[in-house]
Amino acid sequence: MDPHLAEDEELAKLKEWWRKNGTSIIVGIVVGLGAIVGINGWSLYTTNRAETASALFFQLRQHVENDDAASATGLADELQADFPSTPYASNGALLTAAALYDDGDVEGARKRLAWVVDNAPDPSLEHTARLRLAYLELGEGNTSRALELASTGEGGAFASHYAEIRADAHRLDGNDDQAAIAYDEAIAALPTASGYANVLRAKRNSLAGPN
C-alpha cells in the first residue's frame, strides 16, 4: 500500500474522530482547569478568612486582658457576624461573656454564652458554654434554668460537671435527697483518683439530715 495513502486515511480518521469528540475534550480540559483554579482559589480564600478571624480573636483577647469589655464586645460581634462557624467566634464569645459578667452585665454574658451553645462548631465548646451558662443561672438563683441546661443530652467527659450543677441546684431548692443522688453521680463520673472527688464528697456531706 502506498504509504502516503495510508497516512491520508489515518489523517481522515483522526479528523473525523476529532470532529465528533474534540468539543467534549476541550470542555473537559476547561472544566478541569477551572476546578483546579477553583480549588486553589477556595483554599486561598479559606486561609485568608482563617487568618483574619485569628487576628480579630487575638485583638479581642488583648482587650479582655486589659479589662476593656466594650472593645472586646465589638470584636466579638464582628467574629460572630462574619465568622460564625469558626472556633474563633465561639472562643471570642466565651471570653467576652466572662468580661461582661465581671463588669456586672449579666444579660450580656448570658446572650454570648447562649450564642455559643447554639452555634459552636465543636461539641467541647458547646459543653463549655452550656456549663458556664448553667453556673451563671445558679449564681442568679435561676435553679430551674440551671437544671434544664444541665440535663440536656449526654455529657460525656463533662458528665461530672453536669451532675454537680444539678446537685447544687437541688440543694439550693432544698431538695437534699435529689442533691445527694446527683452528687453521687458526679463522683461516679469523675476520672479515677481525681482529687475533686473530695470536694464533691464534702458538698454531699454538708446536706441537711441523713443522706
User: What does the pLDDT look like over 116-169, one tens digit per residue?
Assistant: 999 999 899 999 999 999 999 999 999 999 999 999 766 788 999 999 999 999
Q: Are 186 and 164 in contact (CB under 8 A)?
A: yes
Q: Is 176 contained in some domain?
A: no
Work out the angle at residue 163's Cα, subtended by the Cα atoms of residues 201 and 116, and round it to the nearest 5 degrees. Answer: 135
Count the alpha carbons within 13 Å of 134 in the hemisphere toward its beta carbon. 25
Which domain, by its residues, includes 78? 31-121
Q: Is 152 contained in some domain?
A: no
Number of domains in the chain: 1
pTM over 0.85: no
Mean pLDDT of the chain: 82
Mean pLDDT calculated for residue range 93-107: 94
Q: Is 79 contained in some domain?
A: yes
The C-alpha atoms of residue 135 and residue 119 are separated, in whole angstroms, by: 19
Q: Is 87 contained in some domain?
A: yes
Q: Is 4 contained in some domain?
A: no
Q: What is the pLDDT of residue 50?
A: 82
